[in-house]
Structure 1
Amino acid sequence: MRTGSGWRDVPEGYGSWSTSYDRLNAWSKAGVFQGLMDALFAEAASRGQVGLELGSVDSTIARAHHESAGLAITGETSDASEQALTEETGLCRTISRRYCEWYGAGRHTRCGRPGPVAGCGSCRRTATPQARAAAARLGRSRGGGLSSKVHAAVDARGLPLAFVLTAGQAADCRQFIPVLDKIQVPRAGRRPRTRPDAVAADKANSSKANRAYLRRRRITGSSRRRPISRGNRKKKGSAGGRPVDFDPDRYRQRNTVERCFQKIKTWRGLTTRYYKSPESYEAGPHLRGSIMWLKHLSSTT
């Protein structure tokens, strides 16, 4: 992951390259790397070294190599991906164009169009390219080409608290709440702490739903509003409500999340995505985050 080299280039001293790959794949799916970061995170929390006075949220793009495309998915994974695409676009995607002799007996629930009949041997379902990309969390960002996006929440020292991996075109504002919900700071004899005192984020995360979420959880938010949002509020006059509070001094400290991404992307295997499996690639940020927490704990002992 650090050098971005191919698996066949693994030194012979580490054994068979296929064994190394299989072990990484198994550990990543089992959550070993996330558990490692959580363990170091818990140790830092027991020492009171987690800076939750201010959290920062942002995302970064990782270009995907052509070898990362073509994830093989079947069964429930394919159905779940198709359902997610249907809910996102509002359109029903027909997975197979081949219908059985009982044409029209089965219909999709959203659009009512005829579709493959469950249990028919000639209607075997194969994943569409859209479903395959959704399962691999690959998409196309503005720059073109396949890419993935890593959303992160960091503490006041720039150390990672949580990661969320999505497709490259995924909107930041929709992942603001999921990445904050993943924060779990262990406390002895008490429930884990799940929210920082304040959160700094850029304009991409300044949506009405996100601001309502912060107010509901009593978290102080500091993010600039989009110019179009400010214009719409002014058009409404007094009905537009008061301007959103903005603390420029707290907003300047948002650079902590950018510094975290800079450290993560010193690993060439994370700057460019080579892995087909999203779990294998997501293991990289967790492993890099574990090293960052380990260095922090070593420097304070």
Structure 2
Amino acid sequence: MGRGDLTNAEWRRLEPLLPPIGLRGGRWADHRRVVNGVLYRVRTGVQWRDLPERFGPWLTVYKRHRRWSGDGTWQRLLTRLQAEEEAVGRVDWNVAVDSTAVRAHQHAAGARHAPTSSGRKGGGDTGGSSRSSAPVPGQRPGGGGRSGESLGRSRGGLTTKIHLVADGRCRLLSLLLTPGQYGDGPQMQAVLEQIRVPRTGPGRPRVRPDALTADRAYTSRANRRYLRRRGIRHTIPERRDQQEHRRNRGSRGGRPTGFDIEHYKTRNTVERAVNRLKQFRAVATRYDKRAYVYLGTVTLAAVLIWLRT
């Protein structure tokens, strides 16, 4: 076993959640070796062709990662791990929301039109995955070209932004990709809607945190109304211009927003979650052309964090 590979205990948790090896008419290569190959690339950021020979053919590892990114296998692993932790009460539902910008490597640019439902034209998606034109969960729908692949132009060049919600133990509950120039505040509701932790027994999935902490980028009236409507306690500082505008309106400006400075100190959990996520070099720099493949890369990094925290 190499450094960074799955331990026996970790593999026993993941193996029942993966597709059967005998699927699609023939036997696939050993799942554990392939998953370790994907993890190696996510951790180090090497080119697929430079994977060590102990993981088998690089094309097999790449196609497996691309297929499981498209069909939601990585997301199902993350959801199942969250459900197992929730069943034993190890999920802290005092959450924090934030975003982080990721510089896109030049190899991530230049993707052609998105693949069709047959997966044959436009995108070069020859992995055999039948993907519809519907938006991938966790990927903000956009137009064609770079915007449709969650790539945006900013001062630093091509960037992608990861919007995420982290629990009190610095683990990702949900994430969303957008082009780098997208603002944080307008994406808060969308990333919160991605939270869905199933029950291991009877009952509906849990979709609502107990409390939320965020910085000034999320202090819009629409966001506060949304949180009040869902019954989510929130600690978000008010910008100075909003305070002045409210005071200038007098009684029509409404009451000041509540702010608990002690609870606001817990917002560092999402900052620490971002730091953990960017320890994976293929997350800290985007090398994947397709947004759904990069989303799978980030999701797999989150899976490993949940396994080892």
**Whole-Å Cα distance in 2 between the matches of residues 3 and 56 of structure 1?**
28
Task: Tell me what 1:58 maps to.
Answer: 98
Letter in 2 for 1:55: V
**Whole-Å Cα distance in 2 between the matches of residues 293 and 144 of structure 1?**
31
1:189 corresponds to which of 174, 194, 202: 202
Question: Contact conserved, 2:103 with 2:156, CA < 8 A, in 1?
Answer: no
Task: Tell me what 1:68 maps to.
Answer: 108
Greater relative contact order (CA < 8 Å, ≥ 6 in sequence)? 1
Letter in 2 for 1:213: Y
Runs of at least 4 residues off by over 4 Å: 74-81
**Whole-Å Cα distance in 2 between the matches of residues 32 and 270 of structure 1?**
18
**Whole-Å Cα distance in 1 between the matches of residues 62 and 52 of structure 2?**
13
**Whole-Å Cα distance in 1 between the matches of residues 176 and 134 of structure 2?**
18
**Whole-Å Cα distance in 1 between the matches of residues 260 and 162 of structure 2?**
26
2:302 corresponds to which of 262, 265, 289: 289
* Closer/same/farther in 2, CA of residues 242 and 272 from structure 1, 3 Å limit: same
**Whole-Å Cα distance in 2 between the matches of residues 74 and 263 of structure 1?**
31
Corresponding position: 1:163 with 2:175: yes
Letter in 2 for 1:179: V
**Whole-Å Cα distance in 2 between the matches of residues 205 and 164 of structure 1?**
16
Task: Tell me what 1:221 maps to.
Answer: 234
Instruction: Measure how far apart 1:74 and its partner are.
Output: 4.9
Deviations 1:196-220 (A, max 9, x none): 1110001111111100000000111
Letter in 1 for 2:158: L
Corresponding position: 1:149 with 2:128: no
Task: Tell me what 1:5 maps to.
Answer: 46
DSSP 3-state at the match of 2:110: coil
Larger radius of gyration between Structure 1 and Structure 2: 1
**Whole-Å Cα distance in 2 between the matches of residues 273 and 75 of structure 1?**
20
**Whole-Å Cα distance in 1 between the matches of residues 114 and 153 of structure 2?**
23
Letter in 2 for 1:254: R
Aligned length: 248
TM-score normalised over the length of structure 1 = 0.78
Task: Tell me what 1:115 maps to.
Answer: none
Question: Contact conserved, 1:46 with 1:186, CA < 8 A, in 2?
Answer: no
Deviations 1:200-253 (A, max 9, x none): 001111111100000000111101112221221122111111111111111110
Task: Tell me what 1:279 maps to.
Answer: 292
Superposed CA RMSD: 2.1
Corresponding position: 1:29 with 2:70: yes
* Closer/same/farther in 2, CA of residues 74 and 264 from structure 1, 3 Å limit: closer
